[in-house]
């Protein structure tokens, strides 16, 4: 199969025949295709994902489909998202080595990426639902975010390179459009594809949609998302885009990559930890999840702390781009000026990440793409109680983000809302 053949979706039955001559794949897993075992394991919303095991190893073959898998061919989606995923992965590997799967092969025409099979890794969201406490995730993800977001910005890159890259990723229009609608707008009106736990949440949903301050704030966040082309984002950094073992963490699936605000990745990620926190009550059949709740709040504190420390370190040691140039500060003996500018930047990331986190919580409960943290709670009354608390929390973050000064303050609020018996 070459990049010149017309696109054709792979299947479990056709994969060995079509990729049997692919040198990159054969060198990883062995070329005797009669030994290959193929499974389709994609559980995301968009793509096909195959695990291919051969006599000498295993690999993952990920292929984009020309439509949204979750919805079907009534929602076409361009194959070029695979191109953006491939280019984002190569940049993330360069900026945060070891944090993403190794790429073996990319075929643009077939929209497929052959990459490292991560084993025994599982999806972080699944681990958190199971109540597993992973000791390294905060450090690993905090470092990943600081390194990729700092090194992909005008704080670090040569501005010519950054502008060329910005132009490249600017074409990822359709995936940005998904985020712009699904995250920032659809939850706040009766959009066609929305769903929520009904009738339990009907009243809360009506209140949120009538909440003028919330809607204005969500649109401000959308404006920042669309207009602040600060750095190359992962673009969809939630706990379903991270694979873990007890000791290792890898980020996957950056097909939503584009140039946007640093705070977006950080806010989306933290929102997913807070949603994991509010969903724990629904997973207590096997015993109390008090310790898991404490762990999750601790993870938010450590992630934000690691991010800040590493971002600050890079600011002091790798600020080679055109912004806040050293000639204005350190070269004149003005270290304090550089520190002042750093404080301002971290403050603005903090305020914006809270807004992004708030809307991310809302869209996972009210929009099209829900998350398994809540969806796997079978009892709809219990699920609705968990979701209602998360909605209240998200509303507070989005509307009051300028008045919230520390992550401890956020976590005290989360704990308070969690303890409230009434929704």
Minimum distance of ligand SR1 from residue 78's CB (angstroms): 13
| Interacting partner of 182 out of Mg ion, ligand SR1, none (Cβ under 5 to 8 A depending on kind) | ligand SR1
Question: Closest Cα to residue 121, out of 97, 100, 93?
Answer: 100
User: Strands, E, within 310-394: which ranges?
Assistant: none
Give the residue with the Cβ less far from ligand SR1, 186 or 387.
186
The answer to the question of residue 142 lying near Mg ion (CB under 5 A) is no
Instruction: State the residues that interact with ligand SR1 by CB under 6 A.
Output: 44-46, 68, 70, 178-179, 182, 236, 369
The answer to the question of residue 253 lying near Mg ion (CB under 5 A) is yes
Q: Which of 10, 16, 44, 361 binds Mg ion (CB under 5 A)?
A: 44
| Interacting partner of 233 out of Mg ion, ligand SR1, none (Cβ under 5 to 8 A depending on kind) | none
- Separation of CA 129 from chain center: 17
| Interacting partner of 365 out of ligand SR1, Mg ion, none (Cβ under 5 to 8 A depending on kind) | none
Question: Closest Cα to residue 345, out of 366, 319, 370, 369?
Answer: 319
Structure tokens, 83: 């191109």
User: Strands, E, within 71-126: which ranges?
Assistant: 72-76, 103-107, 112-116, 122-123
Give the residue with the Cβ less far from Mg ion, 92 or 200.
92
Give the residue with the Cβ less far from Mg ion, 186 or 253.
253
Minimum distance of Mg ion from residue 125's CB (angstroms): 11
CA distance readout (Å), 307 to 145, 157, 340: 7, 19, 18
Tell me if 386 sits within 8 A of 279, measured CB to CB.
yes
Neighbours of 334 (CB within 10 A): 13
Sign of CA dihedral 326, 327, 329, 333: positive
- Separation of CA 395 from chain center: 20
Give the residue with the Cβ less far from Mg ion, 41 or 216.
41
Minimum distance of ligand SR1 from residue 370's CB (angstroms): 10
Give the residue with the Cβ less far from ligand SR1, 369 or 397.
369
Stretch that binds Mg ion, among 88-96, 133-141, 219-227, 248-256 (CB under 5 A): 248-256
Structure tokens, 96: 């945060």
| Interacting partner of 70 out of ligand SR1, Mg ion, none (Cβ under 5 to 8 A depending on kind) | ligand SR1
Query: Interface with Mg ion by CB under 5 A: which residues?
Result: 44, 253
């Amino acid at each position: 199969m070459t990049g010149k053949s017309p696109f054709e979706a792979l299947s479990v039955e056709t994969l060995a025949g079509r990729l049997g001559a692919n040198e990159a794949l054969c060198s990883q897993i062995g070329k005797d295709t009669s030994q290959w075992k193929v499974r389709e394991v994609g559980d995301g919303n968009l793509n096909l994902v195959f695990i291919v095991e051969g006599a000498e190893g295993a690999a993952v073959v990920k292929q984009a489909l020309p439509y949204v898998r979750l919805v079907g061919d009534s929602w076409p989606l361009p194959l070029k998202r695979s191109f953006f995923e491939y280019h984002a992965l190569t940049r993330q590997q360069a900026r945060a080595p070891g944090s993403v799967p190794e790429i073996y092969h990319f075929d643009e025409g077939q929209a497929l990426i052959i990459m490292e099979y991560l084993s025994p890794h599982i999806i972080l969201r699944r681990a958190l639902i199971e109540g597993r406490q992973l000791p390294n995730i905060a450090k690993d993800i905090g470092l990943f975010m600081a390194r990729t977001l700092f090194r992909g910005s005008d704080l670090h890159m040569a501005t010519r390179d950054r502008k060329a890259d910005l132009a490249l990723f600017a074409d990822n229009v359709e995936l940005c459009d998904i985020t712009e609608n699904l995250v920032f707008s659809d939850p706040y009106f009766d959009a066609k594809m929305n769903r929520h736990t009904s009738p339990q949440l009907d009243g809360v949903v009506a209140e949120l949609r009538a909440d003028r301050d919330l809607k204005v704030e969500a649109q401000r966040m959308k404006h920042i998302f669309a207009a602040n082309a600060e750095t190359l984002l992962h673009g969809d950094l939630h706990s379903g885009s991270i694979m873990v073992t007890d000791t290792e963490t890898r980020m996957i699936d950056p097909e939503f990559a584009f140039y946007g605000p640093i705070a977006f990745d950080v806010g989306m990620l933290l929102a997913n930890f807070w949603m994991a926190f509010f969903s724990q009550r629904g997973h207590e059949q096997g015993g109390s999840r008090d310790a898991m709740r404490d762990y999750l709040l601790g993870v938010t504190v450590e992630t934000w702390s690691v991010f800040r420390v590493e971002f600050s370190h890079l600011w002091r040691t790798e600020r080679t781009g055109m912004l806040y140039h050293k000639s204005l500060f350190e070269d004149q003996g003005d270290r304090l000026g550089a520190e002042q500018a750093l404080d301002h930047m971290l403050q603005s990331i903090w305020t914006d990440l809270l807004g992004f986190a708030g809307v991310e919580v809302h869209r996972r409960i009210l929009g099209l793409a829900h998350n398994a943290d809540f969806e796997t709670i079978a009892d709809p009354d219990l699920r609705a109680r968990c979701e209602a608390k998360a909605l209240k929390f998200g509303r507070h973050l989005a509307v009051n983000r300028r008045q919230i000064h520390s992550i401890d303050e956020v976590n005290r609020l989360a704990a308070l809302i969690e303890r409230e018996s009434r929704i």
